[in-house]
Amino acid sequence: MRLALDGDVGAYKTLLGAVAPHLRGVVRPLLIRSGRGLADLEDIVQETLLAVHLKRATWDPSLPFLPWLNAVARYKAIDALRKSGFRQDVDIDTMSESLAAPDERRDSTLDSATILNALDAKQRKLVEQTIMVGRSSADVGAELGMSEGAVRVALHRSLKRLGKMFGKNRHEN
Amino acid sequence: MKTEKLIDWLAEDLAFKPPVASKRILFWLPIAALATGIIFLGLVGIRTDLTSTGAMPTLVKVGLGLVIAIAAVRGTRTLLRPEASIAQGIAAPFAVFLSLSLLLALDLASWGQNGFLGRLLGKSITSCLTVIPLLAAIPLVTSLMALRAGATSHPAFIGALAGLASAGLAIVAYGLYCTEDSPSFVAVWYSLAAVIVALVGSMAGRRWLRW
């Protein structure tokens, strides 16, 4: 995380890649204890990853990272449970299904097309090309006639938009 | 969406530096409080006996306000970290309580029980309870906006602390104007004004400081 905060993209990806399974471990028991299936697990994990990213400045590098990370995960998981209501009447079939088939998909219920559709035209193009296709943001930005700063802002806004979508999606479920 | 895709997306955004709430509040709250205080004192004027008989009581009020504000700002800076517990942000309420008891003790020690009720009730309760919250309003909104960049696990509590911090600085400004000098009056009504702002802050925090 220290490296990542200095702007080391490789270190950041490695870190988030290791954080994701850890978050599954933190969130899964919370979901099970609340009497819900694990259908939302990856959504909450992704929402927490996004929060880790957006709130990374609240981690004090002089303090240990793990308590901070777990606190973010707990906050997001509890928030998710609260928003969608603590369901007591769990359908045992869905429960055993989700228990039997552990979350192999590593995929949220929000699909990429839905996400892209919610972005404005420039953001959509930018995210589609850089994230989904994997081109460099500088190239795509140049193609769209955007400055480096404008690309940065658009990408950032797209993530904030995504955060709102996570909240809404849960509301409707 | 696959989680690896999200991670790519986040990594792409690494160059965008997020705002740092702990710095924002240190910067914006004093500016908002100073601006409000200057306007207020420009309108009503500083008490005229500031350098003579009013010096000591004013010092007490300013001191009270600063103690509350500093303790409360420290509390918000701690609590905006998600792993911080409410216990770690408790210094400010404690500071209010302690100053309140000290002032009551000072009052009784200086003048005894005779006329205590008169000193306690004073003549300007209404002004104290309306002007201090009004002076704290803009600083409170400003500090809540600064704290939105934080990630507190206790939105209502940190909102209350932002309220106390704003009220503390409002007390500094009001203390330079108000001529109601008995320590017991200051202890009870200034603190009550601060508590009112803290309550408003906690309600606003519950609403605005979720993330």
Q: What is the reported pLDDT for A173? A: 45
Q: Is the pLDDT of residue B97 over 80?
A: yes
* Alpha helices (runs of H) in chain B, residue ranges in sequence order: 3-12, 21-44, 55-79, 91-111, 116-121, 125-147, 155-175, 183-185, 191-208
**Cα angle for residues A4, A6, A9 (degrees, 5° grid):** 45
Q: Do A55 and B4 touch (CB under 8 A)?
A: no
Segment B67-87 shows an average pLDDT of 94
Number of A:B CB contacts under 8 A? 114
Q: Residues with Cβ < 8 Å from A23, sequence gap 6 or more?
A: A45, A48, A49, A69, A73
Which of A58, A124, A135 is the best residue to mutate to test the B interface, defined by the most B CB atoms within 10 Å of its own CB? A58
**Of A32-36, A87-91, A113-117, B79-83, minimum mean pLDDT range:** A87-91
Nearest to A72 by CA among B13, B84, B151: B151
Residue B42's pLDDT band (cuts 50, 70, 90): very high
Q: Which residues of B touch A156 (CB under 8 A)?
A: 13, 16
Using one digit for the tens of pLDDT, what is the confidence trace for A65-121?
999 999 999 999 888 888 776 554 555 555 554 454 454 568 787 888 888 888 888
By C-alpha distance, the chain B residue nearest A127 is: B9
Q: Quick one: B121 exposed, middle or buried, by C-beta within 10 A (0-12, 13-18, 19+)?
A: middle
The amino acid sitting at B25 is: I
Contact B152, B88 (CB under 8 A): no
Please give the Cα distance from B203 to B207 (Å, whole number). 7
Q: Which residue has the higher pLDDT, B171 or B53?
A: B171
Beta bridge partners of B2: A107
Q: Do B149 and A57 touch (CB under 8 A)?
A: yes
Task: Of A108-112, B174-178, B180-184, give the range with the top mean pLDDT.
Answer: B174-178
Q: Which 8-state DSSP code applies to residue B150?
A: S
User: Which one is the CATH code of A1-106: 1.10.10, 1.10.1740, 2.40.128, 1.10.3470?
Assistant: 1.10.1740
Using one digit for the tens of pLDDT, what is the confidence trace for B139-165?
999 999 999 999 999 999 999 999 999
Q: Is the pLDDT of residue B77 over 70?
A: yes
Segment B16-33 shows an average pLDDT of 94
Domain coordinates of chain A in residue numbers?
1-106, 110-173
Q: Which residue has the higher pLDDT, A10 or B205?
A: B205
Q: What is the reported pLDDT for A97? A: 47
pLDDT > 90: what percent of chain A? 27
**Tokens found for residue B130:** 């309306």
Q: Which fold has domain A110-173?
A: Arc Repressor Mutant, subunit A (1.10.10)
Q: Is the pLDDT of residue B114 over 90?
A: no
Q: Which residue has the higher pLDDT, B112 or B71?
A: B71
Question: How near does any CA of chain B get to the CA of A35, in Å?
Answer: 23
